[in-house]
Amino acid sequence: MLSLLELAEALQAECQPRDSAHTTLLHRVGSARNADATSLVPQLAATVSSPGKPLLLVQQPRLAFAKAWRLLMDASNVPGVHPTAIVAASVELAEGVSIGPYAVLGEQVRIGKRTEIGAGCVLAEGVQVGEDCRLFPRVVVYAGVQLRDRVVVHAGCVLGSDGFGYVRDAETGAYTLFPQQGTLTIEEDVEIGANTTIDRGALEETRIARGTKLDNLVHIGHNVRVGRNVVIAAQTGISGSSAVGDGAVLGGQVGIGEHAAVGEGVILGGGAGVLSKKKLRGAGKIFWGRPAQPLREYLKGLAAVARLTRKTKNQL
Amino acid sequence: MLSLLELAEALQAECQPRDSAHTTLLHRVGSARNADATSLVPQLAATVSSPGKPLLLVQQPRLAFAKAWRLLMDASNVPGVHPTAIVAASVELAEGVSIGPYAVLGEQVRIGKRTEIGAGCVLAEGVQVGEDCRLFPRVVVYAGVQLRDRVVVHAGCVLGSDGFGYVRDAETGAYTLFPQQGTLTIEEDVEIGANTTIDRGALEETRIARGTKLDNLVHIGHNVRVGRNVVIAAQTGISGSSAVGDGAVLGGQVGIGEHAAVGEGVILGGGAGVLSKKKLRGAGKIFWGRPAQPLREYLKGLAAVARLTRKTKNQL
Amino acid sequence: MLSLLELAEALQAECQPRDSAHTTLLHRVGSARNADATSLVPQLAATVSSPGKPLLLVQQPRLAFAKAWRLLMDASNVPGVHPTAIVAASVELAEGVSIGPYAVLGEQVRIGKRTEIGAGCVLAEGVQVGEDCRLFPRVVVYAGVQLRDRVVVHAGCVLGSDGFGYVRDAETGAYTLFPQQGTLTIEEDVEIGANTTIDRGALEETRIARGTKLDNLVHIGHNVRVGRNVVIAAQTGISGSSAVGDGAVLGGQVGIGEHAAVGEGVILGGGAGVLSKKKLRGAGKIFWGRPAQPLREYLKGLAAVARLTRKTKNQL
């Protein structure tokens, strides 16, 4: 049995950027996973062009491939603080940390082992970053925000900015910012796409729980709680004080109003809209539309309108 | 009667980040605002756990709380120009200004009293920023843009970029940028969320009028005019040459086409879409849907489709 | 016959920021383009207030105006590498290049003639930028991305970030990033709005073909192929592995699912949504709605619902 690292090296040795042969192979193993996997070995071996190559058989081939690749990637970091980085006197850097050029770290910032802070990142006072994190260039982290271990933040993200909560003066119509002095916690293994913004809590906390993945240009409002292993596709926005349960899957451009709750394992189709204070429940249940409805009902509504349209056409 | 600053200090003295006791108190006063407020004092006093504390009674308690907090926050700025900031020879800095590390200020830039320019901000030639403004890190302001007093701009914003106006060559199908040499003016007390983008005018001006608040990842196109005290939630986009009247409220992910007009005080629900050239009017009137309709009509449409869907269900 | 540069200078000499006289003139010529243009000269000459001015007659006046303006603008670049820019030893800079303050260029970066890299830009290892490009401040380009000639990238863009592709562990529910080691190619004359994000390919390539224009806050996922002379308005998102054909026009806030195909010349109205794997075809054909339908059918659907709503109103 090969280790994952050996698998990775074997794959890389064979894999050219445009050569998808190995993917094909893995895919075949993947699509046959409902069959008895071991019975497939001779069949697969026959389809591989050069029979001298090792044949890898794993339960979840795409997953093994992804994990193997990650092992190879992790070797890229070169520790050290670039001479142009501005690191306040009270900053604590663990061993193996890399701080890129023109990064700025405020007082009391703490960075865990082997973490990489990219060029031009700005970490305000009291920011804490765990071990084995990677912040790509030009990430801004506001004061007091906490990132745990193995967090990946892509370029241009803004973490911990003031939430959008205003008090309207009933006499003048002018707005005053409601205090936005809460915190933001990003738990372990969270990954955040480019130019995404996550606001800090107003009086409390915004929290993204472990293992959750956010795509590019996502917006997370103040006091929002996102559970574990949630997937949120690009340009989705979650308004203040809403909650998303563990394992939920949100398509792109989804919009969630304030104080709403998306239950554990709920799936929201791309562009779906959840009204303020609305609660959606049901693991594995798919909702779609604006306002979001159970998929079947939404599709029936679309079909009903289509029939109506056809009927009108016939009458004309 | 306590001054607002005394109120702020009293609140801060009592308030721990996770302690919401003071909020509870203020909220109670707030929800009773339709009653005779003074009659509530003995009742409120009885509910406060430590009767020795001062009891503050104001007409708009959330507003007072917000204003008091802001007074406290304003003390944070430490004046001075960081030695790594690049400040062109012709730049004019008023007293009390703070320029962060690695900020770049081009020729003829003018910064008003006590304004704070965060780390890594880039202000191109001729940018003018008023008094008591705060630009968080990594804001980019293109040449000639004007920000008036007390403007707050969160990290990653881009102000005054070229608008999206192209001329198509009828023969080749290729596009050429139409001149985007107008200006952008941000009036007093405007606040702008993280990674928001506002384009300059094409030949004329883009203008955000005083007191207006923009959330994160908002897009404002060229020549747009946004009135006073307008609230625009996250990920909303306003296309070129459209206008939004004073006091309007736009939910998140609203989309407004070109040359459209949203009247004074109009309220657009989250995800609403306004067609190009469309005019919506009526202070306090709520519109929703794509295309946006008066709320009642839109809800009736949803209900009608739902009935149709049910009917079909019964027929099956 | 005047050259375009002479035209540009003539226009600039007459044109004040708020003076739209020249636009009016050009517009009149433009709107008369279906008539015999030469027959309009005496008529136009009579309407111009100062008859001593030169009268310019071109086939596509807006296009001529735009091209003339561009010629004037192109003179702004001052070559040279700012002393604070960090340029790795193996970087190749062609003549006339300008590198702004605090820009960071990694190993093996290559920059073509007269290209301008703005303040605070970060170009990772192996990035190639062609001739006459302009990167506004704070653009981040990930390793190995290729930009061809005359590409314009506005402030805050992120090019070549990891795509959003994860493999779910069927046993634990945890996600692992699928390899995102492909490339990104931006062809000639592409222009990209502020804070837009474009992901690199997973195993293959993301490509934006020549002449295509992207507005602000657009998201392009991994492996996406966008054809030539495509126009994509603000806040539109294209999910992984989808394709958009030459000359297509996408309104703002359009959402396109994964593995979808938008054919050559297709027009998508603002906010339209294209389902995963869906193919839309027909040059000049307009689609609208979520899910996108041919415009006429979508409008009929809206009308049918409106009638239904009215009927209900009458019954009440």
Rounded average pLDDT per 10-residue block, chain A, 316 residues:
53 43 38 40 52 67 84 74 98 98 98 98 98 98 98 98 94 93 96 98 96 98 98 98 98 98 98 97 97 95 88 60
Q: A122 with A104: CB under 8 angstroms?
A: yes
At residue B301 the predicted structure's pLDDT band, cuts being 50, 70 and 90, is very high
**Radius of gyration for the alpha carbons in chain A, expressed in angstroms and rounded:** 24
For residue B237, the chain C residues in CB contact (below 8 A) are 217, 234-235, 252-253
**A247 contacts C164? CB cut-off 8 A:** no
C69 vs B186: which has the higher pLDDT: B186
Nearest 5°: the CA angle C175, C180, C181 is: 150
**C164 contacts A193? CB cut-off 8 A:** yes
**B191 contacts A122? CB cut-off 8 A:** no
Token duo for residue B169: 């060559």
**B164 contacts C193? CB cut-off 8 A:** yes
Q: For chain B, list the contacting chains (3+ Cβ pairs, <8 Å).
A: A, C
Burial (CB count within 10 angstroms: exposed 0-12, middle 13-18, buried 19+), residue C105: buried
Q: DSSP of C123-173, one letter per residue?
A: E-TT-EE-TT-EE-TT-EE-TT-EE-TT-EE-TT-EEEEPP--EEE-TTT-
Which of these is catalytic: B27, B154, B219, B222? B222
pLDDT of residue C61: 81
**C66 contacts B177? CB cut-off 8 A:** yes
pLDDT of residue C62: 86
For residue C17, the chain B residues in CB contact (below 8 A) are 181-183, 203-204
Looking at the partner chain, which of B120, B174, B297 has a beta carbon nearest the beta carbon of C120? B120
- Of all residues in chain A, the one with the smallest CA distance to C169 is A63
Looking at the partner chain, which of C122, C167, C169 has a beta carbon nearest the beta carbon of A137? C122
In angstroms, the separation between the Cα of residue B140 and the nearest Cα of chain C is 7
Strand partners, C273: C255
Looking at the partner chain, which of C168, C178, C237 has a beta carbon nearest the beta carbon of A253? C237
Q: Where are the domains of chain A?
A: 2-35+56-75, 81-295
pLDDT of residue C78: 85
**C63 contacts B169? CB cut-off 8 A:** yes
Question: A-C interface: how many C-beta pairs under 8 angstroms?
Answer: 166
- Of all residues in chain C, the one with the smallest CA distance to A85 is C102
In angstroms, the separation between the Cα of residue B147 and the nearest Cα of chain A is 18
Token duo for residue A143: 């004061």
pLDDT of residue A67: 85
Looking at the partner chain, which of A158, A179, A182 has a beta carbon nearest the beta carbon of B194? A158
Tokens 């290049």 correspond to: C97
Token duo for residue C130: 């062609």
In angstroms, the separation between the Cα of residue B44 and the nearest Cα of chain C is 47
- CA trace torsion C75, C78, C80, C82 (10° rounding): -140
Closest CA to B135 of B106, B104, B163, B162: B104
**A167 contacts B154? CB cut-off 8 A:** no
Token duo for residue C158: 């992120």
In angstroms, the separation between the Cα of residue A156 and the nearest Cα of chain C is 7
Q: Within 10 A of A158 (CB to CB), how many other CB atoms are there?
A: 29
Q: Which of B117, B125, B175 to mutate to test the interface with C (most CBs of C within 10 A)?
A: B175
Q: C199 with C184: CB under 8 angstroms?
A: yes
Q: Which of C82, C134, C217 to mutate to test the interface with B (most CBs of B within 10 A)?
A: C217
At residue B76 the predicted structure's pLDDT band, cuts being 50, 70 and 90, is low
- Of all residues in chain B, the one with the smallest CA distance to C154 is B161
Region for B80 from its dihedrals, namely left if φ exceeds 0, alpha if ψ lies in -120 to 50, beta otherwise: left
Q: B225 with B204: CB under 8 angstroms?
A: no
In angstroms, the CA A313 to CA A205 distance is: 55
For residue A87, the chain B residues in CB contact (below 8 A) are none
Q: Which of A107, A109, A142, A176 to mutate to test the interface with B (most CBs of B within 10 A)?
A: A176
DSSP state of A33: T
Least confident of A18-27, B71-80, B138-147, B299-308: A18-27
Q: Which residues contact B21 (CB under 8 A, 6 or more apart)?
A: B14, B15, B49
Closest CA to A236 of A196, A176, A182: A196
B305 vs A33: which has the higher pLDDT: B305
Q: For chain C, list the contacting chains (3+ Cβ pairs, <8 Å).
A: A, B
- CATH ID of A81-295, from 3.90.120.10, 3.40.50.10860, 3.40.50.2020, 2.160.10.10: 2.160.10.10
Q: C260 with C244: CB under 8 angstroms?
A: no
Q: Which residues contact C225 (CB under 8 A, 6 or more apart)?
A: C206, C207, C209, C242, C243, C244
In angstroms, the separation between the Cα of residue A196 and the nearest Cα of chain C is 10
Nearest 5°: the CA angle A139, B93, A163 is: 35
Q: For chain A, list the contacting chains (3+ Cβ pairs, <8 Å).
A: B, C
In angstroms, the separation between the Cα of residue B291 and the nearest Cα of chain C is 9
pLDDT of residue B24: 38
In angstroms, the separation between the Cα of residue A158 and the nearest Cα of chain C is 12
For residue A140, the chain B residues in CB contact (below 8 A) are 136-138, 155-156, 194
At residue B20 the predicted structure's pLDDT band, cuts being 50, 70 and 90, is very low
pLDDT of residue B30: 36
Question: A-B interface: how many C-beta pairs under 8 angstroms?
Answer: 165
Closest CA to B291 of A103, A6, C271: C271
Residue range B193-217: average pLDDT?
97
At residue B48 the predicted structure's pLDDT band, cuts being 50, 70 and 90, is low
**C23 contacts B203? CB cut-off 8 A:** yes
**C203 contacts A23? CB cut-off 8 A:** yes
pLDDT of residue A311: 74
Residue by residue, pLDDT tens for chain C (316 residues) are 345 555 555 555 544 333 343 443 343 333 333 334 444 444 555 555 455 566 667 778 888 888 888 777 765 678 999 999 999 999 999 999 999 999 999 999 999 999 999 999 999 999 999 999 999 999 999 999 999 999 999 999 999 999 999 999 999 999 999 989 899 999 999 999 999 999 999 989 999 999 999 999 999 999 999 999 999 999 999 999 999 999 999 999 999 999 999 999 999 999 999 999 999 999 999 999 999 999 999 999 999 998 888 876 555 4
Q: What's chain B's average pLDDT?
A: 86
Distances (CA, A) of B267 to A58, A274, B220, B247: 56, 18, 18, 9
For residue B124, the chain C residues in CB contact (below 8 A) are 137
Task: End-to-end CA distance of chain A: give it in Å, rounded.
Answer: 71
Q: Which of A204, A250, A300, A308 to mutate to test the interface with B (most CBs of B within 10 A)?
A: A300
Token duo for residue A176: 């005053």
Q: Which residues of C are catalytically annotated?
A: 222
**A161 contacts B138? CB cut-off 8 A:** no
**A181 contacts B63? CB cut-off 8 A:** no
Looking at the partner chain, which of B231, B289, B290 has a beta carbon nearest the beta carbon of A175? B231
pLDDT of residue B68: 81
**C290 contacts A309? CB cut-off 8 A:** no
Residue B27 has pLDDT above 50, yes or no: no
pLDDT of residue C75: 55
Percentage of residues in chain A with pLDDT exceeding 70?
79
Q: Which of A226, A231, A235 to mutate to test the interface with C (most CBs of C within 10 A)?
A: A235
pLDDT of residue B9: 57
Q: Which residues of A are catalytically annotated?
A: 222
